[in-house]
């Protein structure tokens, strides 16, 4: 986008130009740093690696011998992919920006970026919530089983111990939740919605405009989820029709369809700006929606010893296809970005 061409015409309200044009230009400028976050494909690469690892971990579980998990000295081998899976969406974009993007286009720190300490605290909180839910589930099922027995008092220490662990998980989750999840300040915008709304409400024509805006917003909030749900359902039925010979159950198709639609939506959001220049990203989007579930039956499932429930067992091949598409798209975007932005021959003044 040519900034100067954006700014050169009709800049001064003094020249008789409506202030709306100035505000629109101002808004366009203020949105640019956030819009260009994924211009280098860094998010796609980070997310692609995470999804690929997410798909590979069940295969790893299926192939690693049980003895690896039994010893403290060897179990780290199993945990390394988990850590890489968790940190790659954060670390890979950081590394790409540090060594490739910033030397070319200049350093920029966007507000509201998640810091590493925040990420770790959020992960600990997520772990505490997950562990707490699992403990609560087992606690309730053990309690139901024990109530019918005569020796329930013998299991009292066990229940106290599980209850204490549940309490610790709850305290950790609440404490870290209050510490990390705070309402972030909204990014500044050019428009003062409250002022414009207040003034428009005083004019009959303005009231009509406000009604139109409200209906549009309502349509977006209600219509977009309905549209996404419709696309997901349509896809699931289409998968079923297209794959009659393969024994994939409806729940498996449902989970896979949900994952595919969420990834396609994320892809569209991440590439909302750059997709206008890179037409082939529409093809990647179509591939993301159609191919992973269609190709998945051709990839062997890690059914044995993977630790996955029957509903989820079809996910790893789908995730591998999704992750590969994200990764290749990110790599192509990064190559395009590097070609378009050569290293500047620049001395800092």
Partner 1 sequence: MNEQLRAIADLDRVIHEPGRMMIVALLAAVAECDFLYLLRETELNKGNLSSHLAKLEAAGYVEIEKTYRGKVPQTLLRLTPPGRAAFAAYRQRLNAALVEQLQARRPS
| Chain positions contacting partner 1, by CB under 8 A | 2-4, 7-8, 11-14, 18-20, 22-23, 26, 29-34, 102, 105-111, 113, 187-188, 190-192, 195-196, 199-200, 202-206, 344, 346, 348-349
Of 33 and 251, which has the nearer Cβ to partner 1?
Answer: 33
Of 203 and 286, which has the nearer Cβ to partner 1?
Answer: 203
User: Measured from the CB of residue 176, what is the shortest distance to partner 1 in angstroms?
Assistant: 24
Of 32 and 149, which has the nearer Cβ to partner 1?
Answer: 32
Of 199 and 214, which has the nearer Cβ to partner 1?
Answer: 199
User: Measured from the CB of residue 8, what is the shortest distance to partner 1 in angstroms?
Assistant: 7
**Cα 323 from Cα 333, distance rounded (Å):** 15
User: Measured from the CB of residue 328, what is the shortest distance to partner 1 in angstroms?
Assistant: 28
Q: Please check whether residue 315 is in contact with residue 259, taking contact to mean a CB–CB distance below 8 angstroms.
A: yes
**Cα 193 from Cα 83, distance rounded (Å):** 43
Of 34 and 227, which has the nearer Cβ to partner 1?
Answer: 34
**Cα 251 from Cα 257, distance rounded (Å):** 10
**Cα 318 from Cα 243, distance rounded (Å):** 14
Token pair, residue 64, equals 């690693």
**Cα 270 from Cα 35, distance rounded (Å):** 9
Main-chain phi, psi angles of 277, to 5 degrees = -100, -30
Main-chain phi, psi angles of 265, to 5 degrees = -65, -45
User: Measured from the CB of residue 223, what is the shortest distance to partner 1 in angstroms?
Assistant: 28
User: Measured from the CB of residue 23, what is the shortest distance to partner 1 in angstroms?
Assistant: 6
User: Measured from the CB of residue 186, what is the shortest distance to partner 1 in angstroms?
Assistant: 12
Nearest to 182 by CA among 134, 243, 242, 121: 121
Of 1 and 156, which has the nearer Cβ to partner 1?
Answer: 1
């Amino acid at each position: 986008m040519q900034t100067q061409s954006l700014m050169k015409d009709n800049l001064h309200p003094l020249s008789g130009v409506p202030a709306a044009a100035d505000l629109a230009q101002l808004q366009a400028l203020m949105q640019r740093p956030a819009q260009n976050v994924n211009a280098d494909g860094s998010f796609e690469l980070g997310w692609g690696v995470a999804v690929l690892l997410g798909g590979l971990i069940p295969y790893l579980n299926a192939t690693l011998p049980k003895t690896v998990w039994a010893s403290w000295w060897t179990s780290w081998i199993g945990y390394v992919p988990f850590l890489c899976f968790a940190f790659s969406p954060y670390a890979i974009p950081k590394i790409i920006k540090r060594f490739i993007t910033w030397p070319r286009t200049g350093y920029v720190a966007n507000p509201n970026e998640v810091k590493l300490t925040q990420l770790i605290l959020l992960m600990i909180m997520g772990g505490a919530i997950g562990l707490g839910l699992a403990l609560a589930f087992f606690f309730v099922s053990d309690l139901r089983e024990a109530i019918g027995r005569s020796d329930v008092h013998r299991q009292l220490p066990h229940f106290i111990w599980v209850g204490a662990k549940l309490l610790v998980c709850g305290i950790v989750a609440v404490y870290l939740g209050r510490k990390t999840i705070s309402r972030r300040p909204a990014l500044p915008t050019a428009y003062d919605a409250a002022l414009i709304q207040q003034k428009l409400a005083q004019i009959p024509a303005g009231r009509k405009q406000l009604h139109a805006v409200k209906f549009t917003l309502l349509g977006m909030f209600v219509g977009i989820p309905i549209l996404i749900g419709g696309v997901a359902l349509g896809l699931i039925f289409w998968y079923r029709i297209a794959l009659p010979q393969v024994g994939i159950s409806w729940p498996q198709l449902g989970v896979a369809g949900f994952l595919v639609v969420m990834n396609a939506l994320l892809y569209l959001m991440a590439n909302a700006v750059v997709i206008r220049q890179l037409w082939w990203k529409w093809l990647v989007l179509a591939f993301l929606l159609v191919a992973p579930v269609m190709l998945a039956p051709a990839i062997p499932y890690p059914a044995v010893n993977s630790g996955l429930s029957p509903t989820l067992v079809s996910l790893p091949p789908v995730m591998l296809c999704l992750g590969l598409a994200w990764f290749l798209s990110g790599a192509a975007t990064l190559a395009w970005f590097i070609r378009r932005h050569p290293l500047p021959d620049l001395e800092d003044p």
